[in-house]
Amino acid sequence: MSIIPEYRLDYFSQTARQRFGEPVDAAGIFVTKLYHLEQGPPPALVFYGLDDEAQHHLIQKQQTLIQAFNQETLNIVLELSSSGGWDAGQEMLHLHEALYQNGNLTFPAFDIAYGIYWIKSNPGLLIDSEHSALNNLGCSFLSRLVVGLDKEKGIDWGRVIDQTLAELPESRNKKPLRSLYSLPGMPATQVLKWLPAFMADDIKAFLDLKDAPRLTITVKGYEKLFSETSGTACWLEKDYWLRELIAHLPGIMWIILSSIRVPWDEYFPQWKSRLQQYLTGRLTDYDILNHLVSQGITEIQDQEGILNFSQGIPYYLDLATKNYR
């Protein structure tokens, strides 16, 4: 399986060092970014070449550094799931829980959107404490749900949305939230596409509050999104929600920790300026093999020989590739 971009004509002529760079010290890069944070958050930072243990240690360092620079910063870690029952909505719900528990954020728009998504995804299930993930959305949402519940006709989402919008502070821009009214008429898969936008709108409303803290979100284990995925189209579909959240929330300092390089800039030109990627360990076999395919080296025996020689280091990878030719 190869990630080969369609729009990058220079991709095939890139050396490994041009594409991946040389390994750097992640903590040093992070300190530099924190020093310049007053000028605004940097593009999303990606530190890759890290196994699970290395990601864990880096998170500990980050938390110490963030607290040293600004103790008021709200630092959230979202550890992605690798379970067989993976669901993008569930990943966003985990972020919802972390932000609520650590920063007391509320999500009136996302709660409704997720509620609609969950009910459409689980037809026939009762809305109760034993079965419903909706309980994670909080008592205020459930109370509004009860108001809109008709035992014969089901949930009157229009009524639920009306009440939610009426309870929002006057300072909240409600215009983007009018789209909530269209969600009940959509299939679950389409509602899922809207979840990142509504979550982002709720987070923006929090950040716009007077004396709101800075927010840093670290996404741990990006590679887990693809552990059971085949085909590039499936890959890009599976991390759509994360791309959308980052795109909607440039005011947040985003950090992605991964064993593999994040491929967004290879498929979507706009991400070339939105990501800053740093190799902070050794290249995975996946990244090396994709690079070799881009260089026209497709024989398995040749790939294995170069892979073993390179030891996951771009400089050695370039030497091995040159000797192959």
Q: Model confidence over 54-68: pLDDT tens digits?
A: 999 999 999 999 888
**Lowest mean pLDDT segment, chosen from 76-85, 135-144, 289-298:** 135-144
74-79 β-sheet, strand order: 74-79, 215-220, 253-257, 44-48, 275-279
Give the end of a domain, one of 166, 197, 213: 213
Which of 213, 248, 267 is a domain's end point? Answer: 213
Tell me what the mean pLDDT of segment 88-107 comes to: 91
List the end-to-end C-alpha distance of the chain, in Å, as a whole number.
Answer: 23
125 with 188, same domain: the answer is: yes
The backbone region for 312, taken as left when phi is positive above 0, alpha when psi lies in -120 to 50, beta otherwise, is: left
Residues 150 and 204 in one domain: yes
Residues 110 and 198 in one domain: yes
236 and 306 fall within a common domain: no
**pLDDT score of 184:** 94
Establish if 142 belongs to a structural domain.
yes
Same-domain pairing of 154 and 249: no
User: Range of 153's domain?
Assistant: 106-213
What's this model's pTM, rounded to 2 decimal places?
Answer: 0.86
Q: State the chain's mean pLDDT as an integer.
A: 84
Cα–Cα–Cα angle for 209, 212, 216, nearest 5°? 130
* End residue of a domain, out of 213, 236, 269: 213
Is 179 a domain residue? yes
Q: Judge if 234 and 200 occupy the same domain.
A: no
Residues 38 and 187 in one domain: no
pLDDT at 76: 95
- Compute the C-alpha angle 176/123/149, nearest 5°: 65
The 10 Å CB-count burial string (b at 16+, else e) for 91-124 is bbbebbebbeeebebbbbbbbbbbbbbbbbbeee
